[in-house]
Amino acid sequence: MRPITRHKNPLGDISVLYVAVMARAIRAEGEDPADLLGRFGLNEQALGTPEARISIPRFMRMGQAAIALTGNPALGLTMGQLSRPVDAGIAGLAAQSAPTAGAAIDTLIRYALLTSRNSRGVPWTADRGREAHFYSIKPYNVFNFFVVDSVLAAWTRFLRVITGQEEVIERVTIEYPSRNMADLFEQWFACPVRFGAEGNSLRLAPGVADAVSLQAQPAMFEQLSADCQQDLARIRAGWSTGDRVKDLLPALMQGDTPTLATIAERLGMAPWTLQRLLAEENTGFRELVDETRKELAMEYIRETRASLSEIAWLLGFANPAAFHKAWRRWFATSPGEHRKQYLAEQNDKGLR
């Protein structure tokens, strides 16, 4: 079987399965999603192709357009309420057949790369499955609030489905500030919600992690977990050493420039071994850092509303002037000029 190639979107990508959930939420709000899907080059047939992915920034723009269409700023919660285990693909099917709720959420998150990838890192569980954590693209703005809402709500809904309990979460933390919807969120999650936190997370209520899943099926859990592991291995098998380096760089760039030694340690090899492997691929660490910065810079300028100083920090430049200098070297223009021209083109196409 041919290895799955590395993602092509530097800020990450997501399966159209999640767009299907968004379309479902739009219908639940009494609106037709067809026109919105068409604006982004999608239709109902495209949503039935699990292998198809879109970039996370594009998904964020679709979410904002969906919020504008429905008038519901908490549309992410609606998406979570309407999500099903199968909407997470084979990882969701494997997770729902796990023996306990803790094993189920751990399985769902362990294989998240099969349906979504975030350049800041992968979600993870802690404290024997009692805590689930989620990274989001920064900085926060109107385009990515709903992503956090929908992910945390989907995880909560998943736990409610497999346990048959409503009060499954003890505490929710959310990175972005409260948008005057704290009461709504606490009512939906049925627990305290702390905004402006250091990270996005759920902490399971006492006893929930050990609760037997209502959909547990040992044989299917073993088979589906093995299938997930095989698919994960296929994804990683398609990555060169350079791809693996570039996969780690974005999350480590924020406010700093990662060193070769740091990346080598993350990859479990000596720095000189990493240098040799990259040389065999006719590249080098500095070239990969520059290439990654260039790719991310284009995405940040086009697909986010981050200021130029914020982008400079996200890319690990010493100051905004250094970012401006690099951009001119890459594209022979200024980042501000490029953003202005790009947004004008998008407005002409009706995509903004």
- Cα–Cα separations (whole angstroms), residue 89 to 14, 224, 294: 12, 11, 32
Residues 169 and 304 in one domain: no
Q: Which residues of 26-51 are buried (b: 16+ CB within 10 A; e: fewer)?
A: beeeebebeebbeebebeeeebeeee
Residues 38 and 58 in one domain: yes
Name the percent of the chain lying above pLDDT 90: 66
Helix axes of 101-110 and 89-96: crossing angle, nearest 10 degrees: 160
Residues 229 and 248 in one domain: no
Q: Is the pLDDT of residue 6 over 60?
A: no
Residues 204 and 69 in one domain: yes
Q: Which of 235, 260, 289 represents a domain boundary (last residue)? A: 235
Residues 168 and 197 in one domain: yes
Spatial contact of 22 and 66, defined as CB atoms under 8 Å apart: yes
pLDDT digit string, tens, across residues 43-60: 888 887 777 888 888 898
Does a structural domain hold residue 1? no
Name the percent of the chain lying above pLDDT 70: 96
> 309 is in which domain, residue-wise?
240-349
Give yes or no for a cis peptide into 139 (omega within 30° of 0).
yes
Q: Which residue has the higher pLDDT, 325 or 46?
A: 325
Residues 275 and 158 in one domain: no
Does a structural domain hold residue 325? yes
Q: How many domains does the chain fold into? A: 2
Sheet harboring 12-15: ordered strands across?
Answer: 53-55, 12-15, 116-118
Q: Which of 235, 263, 278 represents a domain boundary (last residue)? A: 235
Ranges of H-type helices in 87-174: 89-96, 101-110, 145-163
Helix axes of 335-349 and 285-303: crossing angle, nearest 10 degrees: 50
DSSP 8-state code for residue 213: P
**Given this model, what pLDDT does residue 1 score?**
32
Report for 121-130, 216-225, 307-316: range of highest mean pLDDT: 216-225
Q: Is the pLDDT of residue 174 over 90?
A: yes
CATH assignment at residue 335? 1.10.10.60
Does a structural domain hold residue 4? no
Query: Distance (Å, rounded) from C-alpha 212 to C-alpha 191?
Result: 22
Cβ-Cβ contacts under 8 Å for 319 (sequence gap 6 or more): 312
Under the banding of pLDDT at 50, 70 and 90, the label for residue 36 is very high
> How far does the chain reach from its first CA to its final CA, in angstroms?
40
DSSP 8-state code for residue 205: P
- Cα–Cα separations (whole angstroms), residue 302 to 9, 11, 224: 13, 12, 39
Query: Distance (Å, rounded) from C-alpha 137 to C-alpha 226?
Result: 30
Sheet harboring 124-126: ordered strands across?
Answer: 124-126, 131-134, 200-204, 169-174, 193-195
Does a structural domain hold residue 2? no
Q: Which of 169, 204, 235 represents a domain boundary (last residue)? A: 235
Does a structural domain hold residue 92? yes
Residues 17 and 159 in one domain: yes
Mean of the per-residue pLDDT values of the chain: 90
Q: How far is C-alpha 313 from the chain's CA centre?
A: 20
pLDDT digit string, tens, across residues 256-288: 899 999 999 988 999 999 999 999 999 999 999
Does a structural domain hold residue 131? yes
